[in-house]
Structures are given as structure tokens and as C-alpha cells.
Amino acid sequence: MGKDLDEFVLAGNNKFLLGDYKGAIISFTKAIMASPLHPASYSSRAYAKLEMRDYDGALYDCQQALNLMYMEEQINKNSSHSVNSQKKQSEYARIFSTIGIAKLLQGNKDDALVILHSARLLGWQDAEDIIKSYYKD
């Protein structure tokens, strides 16, 4: 990662933690502009958009992150570069949880259930609680 990317991601994370979601979105957008092939910047911006109730924007960013992760996997499959599979699984879990929550908040409970279940299988611990609280019937 480049210096600018690291600085923008750090600023975005700090703003997010302080509840400045608009500021976080701006910082993550700058990170994307600095390095458009960095999937974590998209997934982080998606989570900030989720907090701003921009569900379509969050879903779009999650799709971009998934596309980039898939491209990385295809490239790395043909090279000797190994990626930490636990880290990758954690990132997939984070993206699927964001998608599931966005779909749930949009009222799409059926899709949300499937996606949240995937996030749970990938190791996202909170998925089980969300599934139980929204799917009592």
C-alpha cells in the first residue's frame, strides 16, 4: 500500500470510530482514488454508507470489493504469491455481513437471511444474533 492510501484509510477508520460517517466516506473515497484496486477501501466505505442509511451505495461498494477480491484470487492463483486465507475469509465475512444488513434494512429478509448465514459460516459472530432477532417466525 502506498503512503497516501495508508493515510486515507487511517483517517477514514478514525472518522468512522468517532461517528463521522460522512467524513469517513470522503476519506475512503480518497483511498479508492489513490488505489482503485484496493478492495478493503470499498468495503470500509460500504460500512460507513450503511451507517448513513445509503443501502444501495453500500451494496454497490460491497460488489466492487467482491469483484476486486475475485480478480486478486485469479491473479494469485497463477502466481507464487500467497494470501493469508484467514484474513481473506474475515474480509469476505465482513462484506457479506454488510450486504446482509443492508438487504435486511431494505426489507429484503429472504436474501438477507441467506447472505447473513454465509457471513456466519465465514466466521462473523454477530450474524447468529441478527438472524435470531429478525427471523423469529
pLDDT digits 0-9 by tens, 25-77: 999 999 999 999 999 999 999 999 999 999 999 999 999 999 999 998 888 87
Which residues neighbour 99 within 8 Å (Cβ) at sequence distance 6 or greater? 58, 59, 62, 115
CATH 1.25.40.10-classified regions of the chain: 1-81
Instruction: Give me the phi and psi of 19, to 5 degrees please.
Output: 85, 10
Which residue in 74, 67, 70, 76 sits closest to 46, CA to CA?
67
Q: Give the pLDDT band of residue 82 (cuts 50, 70, 90).
A: low
Q: Quick one: cell of 87? A: 484474513
Note the CATH architecture for domain 1-81: Alpha Horseshoe (1.25)
CB within 8 Å of 72: residues ≥ 6 apart: 39, 83
Is 136's pLDDT higher than 90? Answer: no
